[in-house]
Chain A
Amino acid sequence: MRLRNTSVDGPEGSQLFEDTSGPAAGSQTGYSNQPAGPQAAGFPAQSILSDPMSNLAMAYGSSLASQGREMVDKNLDRFIPISKLKYYFAVDTLYVGKKLGLLVFPYMHENWEVCYQQDTPVAPRFDVNAPDLYIPAMGFITYVLVAGLALGTQNKFSPELLGVQASSALVWLIMEVLAVLLSLYLVTVNTDLTTIDLLAFSGYKYVGMIIGVVAGLLFGRLAYYLSLLWCCVAIFVFMIRTLRLKLLSEAAAEGRLVRGTRNQLRMYLTMSIAAAQPIFMYWLTYHLIR
């Protein structure tokens, strides 16, 4: 029985991180709190020394530590919204598999709407359309490692190059997110896309880049170009279908022709965000396959 994470914040936190990949998911949650209680009480009893002074010191120290932890949590939560970030990492294996399949082959999927649950979006593990940060984060790290591998096959590898690749890819990501934010502000789109959502969508292109580079390493330049072309088209379609629902107005999202400069601007914005992905995918990988 795994010990549950005791620092999870309240009932919504434990629901985010319930273990849904096991067979007995329902019965596990009932038992989760009970073993944690007696075990937590058992530890101090075993380690308390007989000296009363050290009892006092330990009690004081632990209260000081918990106060410090509260203060750090409170202040950190002002700068980086930790609770919101937790939502984006609430994924499980099934979701990751389905999402990766969707990124490479988005043509058969029909319903792209995100399910809502009382005004808040449902966690990614329950809805395959919800954006997450797990795949972009893992994709970024894998991209840096694969880039190091590719540079090694060209006899150009040195450990500093890993850092250079990582920081330059990160800078391009930040610039892309800032450009998208700026253009969303200028076109005054009323959308519920947060900055972290945009970060997630921009990070999905790393999956295609990794597939292209690995294919190029295994099978040569032709395989690199073909797989990159496939992944570029797939990401383009994926971004258009996802952003269409969020950026365009209701009527235009359903496909009906709506006139007016504002809808036209929104359409151009969606197209250019989607078109920027293949450009970045090629720009960041062409120097790896020579």
Chain B
Amino acid sequence: VGLRAEEEVASMAFTLYSLIQTAILCTNAVAVLHEERFLSKIGWGVDQGVGGFGDDPGVKAQILNLIRSVRTVMRVPLIIVNSASIVLLLLFG
């Protein structure tokens, strides 16, 4: 009663395509965090991360490092991938 078989399984089904979509959206979200306007205001700027020198950077420093490196490395590939997906969505819905 209620959903048909395919709908019921498909409601929890993830395809590989949705994984790619999730990855693109998450990477976009991280790349959009602006350094001056946002991160410095909440105390997550580049200069506020690296505290001590030692073998224990801490979770916050690792997160800031990760955000900064995603922004630097993925900027150009994200432009390409986003343009491609916009064109594909326009053409094929």
Are B62 and A151 in contact (CB-based, < 8 A)?
no
Q: What total of A-B pairs shows CB separation below 8 Å? A: 54
Are A167 and B9 in contact (CB-based, < 8 A)?
no
Are B15 and A167 in contact (CB-based, < 8 A)?
yes
Are B66 and A185 in contact (CB-based, < 8 A)?
yes
Stretch at the interface among A12-20, A94-102, A156-164: A156-164
Are B14 and A168 in contact (CB-based, < 8 A)?
yes
Which of A156, A170, A188, A265 contacts B5 (CB under 8 A)? Answer: A156
- In this complex, the interface size class of chain A, counting residues with CB under 8 Å from chain B, is 20 to 34
Which of A156, A165, A174, A188 contacts B19 (CB under 8 A)? Answer: A174
Name the distance in Å between A151's Cβ and chain B's nearest Cβ: 7
In B42-82, the 8 Å CB interface with A consists of: 56-57, 59, 62-63, 66
Are B16 and A171 in contact (CB-based, < 8 A)?
yes
Are A164 and B13 in contact (CB-based, < 8 A)?
yes
Bound CA span A175–B21, Å: 13
B6 adjacent to chain A (CB < 8 Å): yes
A172 adjacent to chain B (CB < 8 Å): yes
Which of B5, B9, B16, B62 contacts A186 (CB under 8 A)? Answer: B62
Are A170 and B16 in contact (CB-based, < 8 A)?
yes
Bound CA span A77–B59, Å: 34
Name the distance in Å between B69's Cβ and chain A's nearest Cβ: 11
List 9 A-B residue pairs with CB atoms under 8 Å apart, sorted by A's residue number.
A151-B5, A155-B5, A157-B5, A160-B6, A161-B9, A164-B10, A168-B13, A187-B59, A188-B57
**B contact residues vs A (CB 8 Å cutoff):** 5-6, 8-10, 12-16, 18-19, 56-57, 59, 62-63, 66
Q: Closest 3 interchain pairs by CB?
A: A156-B5, A171-B14, A168-B13
